[in-house]
Structure 1
Amino acid sequence: MASRAQEPTLIGVCDGELDPKRYQSSYLTNKVGGQPDWLPVISRQSPRCGVCGAPLVHVVQVYCPLESSPYHRVLHLFACPGVECSGKSGTWRVLRSQCLEAEAAGTTSLPNPPQEAPLAATDWCETADDWGMEEEEDGWGGGGVKEVQKVVAAPEAQAPEVDVSNQLQDLSLSEPQEGTLVLRSFFISVVDESDLCEEDDDLRHAKKLLKEYEKREGMAVGELEEGEGQGGGEEKYEKTKARHGDAIFSRFMKQISLCPQQILRYCRGGTPLFISEPPANFAQAVSACSCCGGLRTFELQLMPALVSLLQKRDGGAETDLEFGTVLVYTCTKSCWTAGSGSAVEEFCFVQSDPDQQLFK
């Protein structure tokens, strides 16, 4: 197995609005908002808030097949739009669904030629977690943003609803109710974080924000790192500690300064980027897979810049959804029962943003 340090971190950025009059999205589409595009054999599901019981709004859809897997694989993230529920972990849900290529091919037909030929799950490049980046000579294409596939897919064939109470607990499997909130939809494009080396206008702006933050907090982000691994590091930290006491937030700001407009970070099996100190027992808090009982691993996280994109489709105003980052952990084995018609619920953890105004 390759070292985790060699796994690339992929950055998702907004790539324009997904106009349903011009594009028909499918489960192959990486997107913000809109209606979820379920795999052809998966029952449509309308999850509800674990706190207030209200229908959840669809926030993000990510097509993410795994290396050497015969399965198409999709993650859907939902959140409660209620003001009182904003920023709480219990008000978010993440559902993983899979189906074999043969199953998808046998239940769909394309009435119109797609804009781009969809990739089969087995055709993905070496890590197969890049959900949209094409393999070239160096395995990643040498840098730059790769637009995810904007594929015109066929309407899904609705599978019979099945009893999945043991897997999804209090999720409702009914069709979305009339009047359920739908967010404006945007395409997500991908760039390898290691390719973010050119200093553009956005990067200069990010550095300006970082300097303003350091001036306000009376510290330099770099000073924290200089004290690590050296004698007297703890004393150094105490002298330069930010007024709000959150050195992790400082590191968070420095890391995303390469691409402040990022809305999503993807690195299955990698290390999450916390925005504040996680609970001391966080590792134990990440529950085991509800299906196989196995461990879960970090896969992706949503970033603060996404908040401004979460607008109501009908009115255009921003929603009350606020968060700093949403961490998603999925079954390490990505277990799946052949022929299953229901999604599997995974684990997500929400951290609020200690300094939201920096991302406005």
Structure 2
Amino acid sequence: MAAPAQEGTLVGLCDGEIDSKRHQSSYLTNKVGGLPDWLPVITRQSPRCGRCGAPLVHVVQVYCPLDVSPYHRHLHLFACPGAECGSGAECWRVLRSQCLEAEVAAARTPSRPLPAQEAPLAATDWCDTADDWGMEEEEEEDGMGGDVKKDSQEEAAAPEADAAGGSDVSSCLQDLSLGESQEDVPVLRPFFISVVEEADLGGEEDDLQHAQQLLKEYERREGVTVGELEDGEGGGGEEKYEKTRARHGDAVFSRFMKRISLCPQQILRYCRGGKPLFISDPPSNMAQVVPACGSCGGSRTFELQLMPALVSLLQRMDGGAEAQLEFGTVLVYTCRNSCWAAGSRSAVEEFCFVQTDPDQNLFK
């Protein structure tokens, strides 16, 4: 069943580094870097770069259940840290995984087998709302967005799932190397991601709408046409726009910067079914660029995007060279129906669209 469009945009902010001695992340945690926390029943996967074949680093993990679905739902984004690969779309992978709460419970208590015909749970049975990407407080929660469980390093060293589980890997994941040794994959410093609603960041947009209404009333009363206000500054706003256009070459980047000006430190934007915020002109045939779902053949919809401020956070834990990930924005499109085969143990690959930043130094 397709989910309705997300009401409003959620903004992700860096909320402090994850200290493995104090915090233990889980599949309920929204985070940057670290090792991926897979859902308990999902086979761990280590994707490789489509250009150079190197193992990809884990960039972002988002827990994003849908309010019309009984499934726990995850998105993991990976990217190639190679100097020649970071900005190419083929050097990024996004994997979606899902499972029922009953499957999680069965994984935690293996001595109690899952009933053959488990009745589907209502979304409200385990997730009050999807407005906060489904993050919820549990009895063992550590208070910073992570459910206490075994350390991710221990989880990475655990035995892989049986061969039967691996046989479910879809054809769109044939370039993934299952069971890749984590020692061969660079790990980025982990940070919690906190979530706020964009509407709560400031009232500038409401003020501009009010100013536009006053302007229309003035024009109607006086019988003159002044023109629409730009940035609440009248002609001054138009002059500012012209300067920006001359510097960057088009108005798309200007609109991008204006939209994030209330919170330039945002590292992620989430609005499933909404409109992406392009940093440069998108292809005129964008609808054709985004392919159909590789699993069900249905259409895909925009879900989230990574923002330029994230780039400066992507540093290797081993003290090696910084990850060579330079991008303007990475847009993620997922199956509109969020299709999932009951009992599947393999993540489904979704689609990334990468745009380079016309002025990356602004965010350093």
Query: Tell me, what secondary structure is at the counterpart of 2:177?
Result: coil
Partner of 1:29: 29
Match of residue 197 from structure 2: 192
Which of 145, 151, 167 aligns to 1:149? It is 145
Contact 1:148-1:188 within 8 A present in 2 as well? no
How far is the alpha carbon of 1:22 from its aligned partner?
1.3
Give yes or no for the alignment of 1:7 onto 2:16.
no
In the alignment, is residue 124 of structure 1 matched against residue 132 of structure 2?
no
1:55 counterpart residue number? 55
Shift of 1:263: 0.3
Q: In the TM superposition, what is the alpha-carbon distance from 1:122 to its structure 2 partner?
A: 4.0
Return the letter of the residue paired with 2:29. Answer: T
Task: Give 3-state SS (helix, strand or coil) of 2:55's partner.
Answer: coil
Alpha-carbon RMSD:
3.0
Q: Number of aligned pairs?
A: 309
Distance across 1 between alignment mates of 2:291 and 2:104: 30
TM-fit CA distance, 1:297:
0.4
| Cα distance in 2 for residues equivalent to 1:69 and 1:2 | 8
Shift of 1:281: 1.1
Q: Whose radius of gyration is greater, 1 or 2? A: 2
**CA displacement at 1:224 relative to structure 2:** 12
Gaps of 5+ in 1: 110-119, 136-146, 200-220, 228-232
Write the deviation string for residues 246-303 of structure 1: whole angstroms up to 9, x where unpaired. Answer: 2100000000011111000000000000000011111101000000000000000000
Moved more, 152-161 or 47-56: 152-161
**Deviations 1:220-253 (Å, cap 9, x if unpaired)?**
x9379989xxxxx9xxx88984343221000000
Report the Cα offset of residue 121 of structure 1.
6.8
1:100 aligns with 2:100: yes
Distance, in Å, in 1 between the alignment partners of 2:323 and 2:60 is 15
CA contact (8 A) 1:97 1:342 kept: yes
Percent of matched pairs sharing the same residue: 72
Q: 1:280–1:354: structure 2 CA closer, same or farther, 3 Å change rule?
A: same
| Contact map agreement 1:34 1:183 (CA 8 A) in 2 | yes
Query: Please, which moves more after superposition, 308-317 or 19-28?
Result: 308-317
C-alpha separation between the residues in 2 aligned to 1:3 and 1:295? 14
1:97-121 per-position Cα deviation (integer Å, ceiling 9, x unaligned):
0011000111126xxxxxxxxxx87
Distance apart, 1:318 and its partner CA: 2.9
Secondary structure of the equivalent of 1:306? helix
TM-score between the two structures when normalised by the length of structure 2: 0.78
Residue in 2 that maps onto 1:313: 317
Q: 1:178 to 1:70 in 2, by over 3 A?
A: same
Instruction: Pick closer, same or farther for the CA change 1:339–1:171 going to 2, 3 Å.
Output: same
Q: Which residue of 1 aligns with 2:306?
A: 302
User: What is the CA-CA distance between 1:174 and the residue it aligns to?
Assistant: 1.9
Q: Which of 325, 337, 340 is the equivalent residue of 2:341?
A: 337
Residue type of the partner of 1:124? Answer: C
Match of 1:173 in 2: 178
How big is the shift at 1:172?
1.2
Question: In the aligned structure 1, how far is the partner of 2:258 from the partner of 2:358?
Answer: 15
Question: Which residue of the partner structure matches residue 295 of structure 2?
Answer: 291
Return the match for 2:253 from 249, 254, 275: 249
